[in-house]
Structure 1
């Protein structure tokens, strides 16, 4: 005779804990890989968007003989100004908006009085949004933090892509007179490829900026003001390269974020690891490292942007706007934003 062995029908507590620990380790190992793959896909879509916008700007150049103006500054006292995005709308399958708004015939201030045009301008443009920016496609009204100041009393669809106005922090006055700049798209600009003497592949055309971390993304069709150098002015539609890449404002002692002025809110930044995407004037798109040489120490003959720190603007003293930049003091990133300084900088590592 023999005794029938008893069959065990359950795990012991120790075995169960071991299995749970193994599963937890596997999840911890896989999660970063999954997140990296998702970010790679988002970055690829962002690159494609910039490619579309650059090619649309080049089509505008081929049709009109120049790249779009960064923002339009009509010679009247209105603050709202059309931005470069509305001028390339016909080339990104949004011609219906331009046909209705007629930016060549009326100011943005006039157009905003028309309910049908306001509705058309409020349409989200997918080509203007980087999927790595987790905020909604509509910018909230109000001010401070990550909220864009409103104009026209309405929430507007955001744009993560801003044109490069160059190095200087110039805006326009109420007469429509705009300070000269050395980028490609700025106030009332009319820059052709002939004026980009550093070469189209060596000059930044468009860069990106997130809404997150107080950077303040833009509005795709226009600027809230044409006067004043602030995030509620032309920086709705443009950025400058005198601000380093990913110059995020540092938190205050209470944990709040300061205003983005003179930081990434007037420059270029991204939530991609290590840098930001830029489209060049030849239509190519590159991720430029945040570690690229960047020198914002102003030369002795410059003045700052009004903040008193003397580290941002490199702007010549009043009445001496023709004074040449001391390019030997500029960083490689600053040179990429200038179309005609004679310093050829490649965005592709040798």
Structure 2
């Protein structure tokens, strides 16, 4: 009599070669996936940085509506070693930081305080998510870090002045003790740069950028942390090797706030002459598509 009980067949096992092939395939897939994940994360960070610019642009336009002009890059007082509150301090109420503005007693007539719990406040609206610098800028008197500085204009020889009789108007929207109105941008708001990125890299010799400080100019926290010019010069090109270059951790270029409140990503390869033209609000050289 035959039995109806079926005898299970022994299962086939993976050979060592097959296992190694599977592991290799998984490794290849992970290697292909990681760059895509990193690119997606950087795209998200760049978008958040762009949103920061838009928030600052809206704040600057609201400030202009209230006071009839834009804030100065900083309100220099030559009697106090060139110190003064900066433009990012002036627009704190416009980015929902009125309490901080009030407690610091921000004013166009008083010098900003030395580093304390208020001036070292971390303000996400002033930090690029792609930047890996510390919350307080060790290169700028340990004041609160900012990754955004005003475009003072454009110049080929240095782009700054600190004497009391030269306010350093190089055609930008914000500079020392300035009060520029939108009507002064005769080239058109959409053709002139207003704010740019400045990344922080700790003592890196190949890219020695030092970020900025949002409070303004205090002792050992100079004007380069609140404003700079653009140059038609290889040493000062976007993401260039000079400490004062506009820079970012976004691959290939730097984001800028334009006068009309829009945001443009300018490539590192942008023509220097074009950059010079974009850095000025009233030179009569209007740049079209670039």
TM-score bucket of the superposed structures, by smaller chain: 0.7 to 0.9
- Uncovered stretches (5+) of structure 2, i.e. residues with no partner: 202-206
Superposed CA deviations along residues 284-326 of structure 1, whole A, max 9, x for unmatched, are 01111111111xxxxxxxxxxxxxxxxxxxxxxxxxxxxxxxx
1:159 maps to 2:174:
no
Task: Tell whether 2:36 aligns with 1:33.
Answer: yes
Report the Cα offset of residue 332 of structure 1. Answer: 0.4
Q: State the alpha-carbon separation in 2 of the partners of residues 51 and 245 from structure 1.
A: 21
Alignment length (residue pairs): 273
What is the Cα-based RMSD across aligned positions, in Å? 2.2
**Equivalent-residue separation in structure 2 for 1:189 and 1:79 (angstroms):** 15
Encode CA deviations 1:80-114: one digit per residue, 9 max, x unaligned.
321110011110011112212223265235x33xx
Specify the alignment match of 1:99 in structure 2: 102
1:222 aligns with 2:220: no
Q: Is the 8 A contact 1:245 1:275 kept in 2?
A: yes
In structure 2, which of residues 200, 204, 207 is the aligned counterpart of residue 211 of structure 1?
200
Deviation (angstroms), 1:62: 1.1
Runs of 4+ in 1 over 6 A off after TM superposition: none
State yes or no: 1:22 paired with 2:25: yes
5+ residue gaps, structure 1, are 141-147, 226-230, 250-262, 295-330
Q: Does structure 1 conserve the Cα–Cα contact (< 8 Å) formed by 2:77 and 2:111?
A: no
CA distance in structure 2 between the partners assigned to 1:344 and 1:6 by the alignment: 82
| Alpha-carbon contact 1:75-1:176 (below 8 Å) kept | no
| Deviations 1:6-42 (CA, angstroms, capped at 9, x unpaired) | 6246422111110110001101111111111101100
Q: Which has the larger radius of gyration?
A: 2
TM-score in terms of structure 1 length: 0.73
Q: How does 1:292-311 map to 2 (within 5 A)?
A: 292-294=270-272
Q: Return closer, same or farther for 1:149/1:122 CA change in 2, 3 Å cut-off.
A: closer
Q: TM-score, normalised by structure 2?
A: 0.87
Distance apart, 1:79 and its partner CA: 3.9
Distance 2:8 2:78 in 1: 98
